[in-house]
Structures are given as C-alpha cells and as structure tokens.
Structure 1
Amino acid sequence: IQLCSLSVLYKSEPRAVLLKAAYDMSSFSFFQRPSVREFMAFTSQPIVERSAKGSRASVKQQEYLCHVYVRNGSLAGVVIVDSEYPSRVAFTLLEKVLEEFSEQVDRIDWPLGSPATIQYTALDGYLSRYQNPRDADPMSKVQAELDETKIILHNTMESLLERGEKLDDLVSKSEVLGTQSEAFYKTARKQHSCCAVM
C-alpha cells in the first residue's frame, strides 16, 4: 500500500493552478524520481479541470488511482495511490486537508498562488501519517481488526473440525464406550453436520 502524492489545487478557467503538493518517491529509483514527480503534478491538473465542483471521483492511471475532490469553492485535492490503498481513507484525507487549507490560507491567494508563495506546510506530515491507512484512520484499524478476528475464528473452527474428525476415530476405536453411547454420539454428529462452517 502506498500513498505517492497529495496535492492542493485551485480549479480556475481554463487551467487548474497547483497551490501545494507533497510526494513520496521512495518506491522509485533515484533517476526516475524527477520524471515521476513531474508526471504526478501534470496528471493532477487535468483531473481537476475535468471534474465538476462539489464532486469526488477516482481515475485509474496504470497501476495507480487518482482520487480527486473538488469543493464548491473551487478548492480541489488530489491523492495518487496504488490500487490497494482504501479509497474511503483517501477521500477522508482529502476532506481533512482541504478543510484545513481553506482555514489557514486566505482565499484571495488561491487564484494567483504557487507552491512557492503559499504558506501551508502540513502536506508532508499528512503524506507521512497516511502512508499506513490502518494507523491513520480509526475505521480502517477497526476493519482490519475485524478481518483478523474472522481469520482467527475461521482457523479455530477448522482446528475444531479437525479435532472432531479425530474424535470420530477415537469413538469408533473405543472399547470403553457402550453401543448406546456410540450410537448417541453418531446421531448427535449427524444432526450437527448441517451446521458445518464453510
């Protein structure tokens, strides 16, 4: 799972203006980084330009997803993530960043702004914090814990079923159990076989 880029843009006509961006280039070779970074900045602009105000969208670009959120006030955010990154967490991040950006940066500076002139420094922190969506987002953490619990429960049921099969062998080999007890066990086993875990 990787969060590669987080950008804030202003949706103006005819072109979107890049206001601030942060990138994580750790998965790319040293020589690829400048080109990849440039391509990510380039990709964010037409996505914002083609998105309606008040909309959210996800655009697939090779093995990456570009999630865009354009607020009604023309402030927009784009995250570029790999396909495994949860889209709900990406949109939560965009909402949080755009809300904070709109509170900290004067709206007058948006149309004429540039990454060098805009005084907003939180993007790198967000990019780092949201690299692991499970740690950054409480809902993802809960979902992951539920998934782990399901796996543990499934494994436990499988081991119980294996033990049940071994119990069958023990019952049939037993010399201590009377015929009536053995018949009772087999009847109970048949009645509960309808409830087997898949």
Structure 2
Amino acid sequence: MKLYSLSVLYKGATKANLLKAAYDLSSFSFFQRSSVQEFMTFTSALIVERTSVGTRASVKEQEYLCHVYVRNDNLSAVVISDHEYPQRVCFTLLDKNPREADAMTKVQAELDETKIILHNTMESLLERGEKLDDLVAKSEHLGNQSKAFYKTARKQNSCCEIM
C-alpha cells in the first residue's frame, strides 16, 4: 500500500496548471526518480484536463491508480497510488486534511506526537536525576568536610582549659 504523489492543480480553460505537488519516490532507484516524477506530473495534469468540473474519477495508468477530484471552482487534486491503496481513503484525502483522511494515519500522527512528548519527559527526568546525583555528591562532600572541621576543632579545643 503506497501513496506516490499528491498534486494540487488549477484547471484552466485550455490546460491545467500545477500549483503544488508532493512525491514519495523512495521506492524507485536514484536514476529513475526524475523520470517517474515527470510522468506523475504529466499524468496529473492530463487527467485534470480531461475530467469535467465537479466530478471525481479514478484512472488506471500502467501499474498506478490515479484518483482525481475537480471542484466547482476549478481547483483540482490528484492522488497517484498503487492498486492496494483504498480508493475511499484517496477521495477522502482529496476532500480533507491528510491527517483526518484515514483513521490509521490520524492514530499514527497522534502516536508520533505522544512519542515525542514521552522522549522529552524522559530527557527531563534524566536531567533531574543527574542534578540529584550532583546534589548527593555535594552533600556527601559537605558532610565529610564538616566531620573534618569538627575533629580539627576538637583537637584544638582539647589542649586548652576553660577557667
């Protein structure tokens, strides 16, 4: 289950203009990435041009599935994924914020946030532990110094008599 591309385009009178796009090309070799990205950009624009305003469509292109949604204001979005990626999730993604589109994605994002908070808490606990260790060492050192001072004072006072 892989999502390769998410593109936002504006459908003009004659052609579609790419506004913004995000690609995940990590599964392709370094030398293929630019060609695959160019293919995805071209396919996204072509699908938007051929889709009527206010409709959704899914198109199979080679081993990819392209899901397109052209809104009534001509703003369009295209998702390119593999065949295993659920169509429902793609269209929900085109309608909403990606974090809200898929329940699993939303849960994963919340888990990631919780993990970051947990790491920060652990770091602060470790810092407190180090500070406590420093305080214990300083108190032991002060205790030893006070014992030495007491012994020295006792020796000094033992030779003198109080009248």
Normalised-by-shorter TM-score class = 0.5 to 0.7
**Aligned-partner Cα distance in 1 for 2:50–2:62:** 19
Instruction: Give the AA of the match of 1:85.
Output: Y
Distance 1:81 1:55, change over 3 A: same
Provide structure 1 residue ranges, at least 5 long, that are not aligned to the other structure: 98-125, 139-198
Question: Counterpart of 1:24?
Answer: 24
The SS at the match of 1:60 is: strand
Q: TM (normalized to structure 2)? A: 0.61
Instruction: Quote the offset at 1:16 in angstroms.
Output: 0.4
| Kept in 2: contact 1:8–1:77 (CA 8 A) | yes
Q: Separation in 1 of the partners of 2:106 and 2:30?
A: 30
Gaps of 5+ in 2: 108-163
Amino acid at match of 2:28: F
Q: 1:60 to 1:137 in 2, by over 3 A?
A: farther
Residue type matched to 2:35 in 1? S
SS state at 2:35 partner: helix
Give the Cα–Cα distance (whole angstroms) in 2 for the partners of residues 39 and 93 of structure 1. Answer: 22
Task: State yes or no: 1:47 paired with 2:28.
Answer: no
Structure 1 residues 58 and 137: alpha-carbon distance in aligned structure 2, compared to 1, 3 A threshold:
farther
Counting aligned pairs with the same residue, the percent is 65
Task: Please give the residue correspondences for 1:54-69 in structure 2 after superposition, counting only pairs within 5 Å.
Answer: 54-69=54-69
Letter in 2 for 1:136: T
- Residue 88 of structure 2 is matched in structure 1 by 88
- Could you tell me which residue of structure 1 aligns to residue 104 of structure 2? 135
1:158-173 to 2 correspondence within 5 Å? none
* Structure 2: distance between partners of 1:96 and 1:134: 12
Structure 1 position 13, deviation (Å): 1.4
SS of the residue 2:51 aligns to:
coil
Distance 2:37 2:64 in 1: 14
Name the counterpart of 2:14.
14
SS at match of 1:35: helix
**TM superposition shift of 1:136:** 1.9
The residue type paired with residue 34 of structure 1 is S
Code of the residue aligned with 1:44 in structure 2: it is S
Q: If you compute each CA radius of gyration, which structure gives the higher value, 1 or 2?
A: 2
CA contact (8 A) 1:89 1:137 kept: no
Q: Please, what TM-score do these two structures have when normalized by structure 1?
A: 0.51
| Superposed CA RMSD | 1.8
| 1:137 Cα deviation after fit | 6.1
Distance 1:44 1:76 in 2: 10
Report if aligned partners of 1:5, 1:40 keep a CA contact under 8 Å in 2.
yes
Higher relative contact order at CA 8 Å, sep ≥6: structure 1 or structure 2? 1
Runs of 4+ in 1 over 6 A off after TM superposition: none
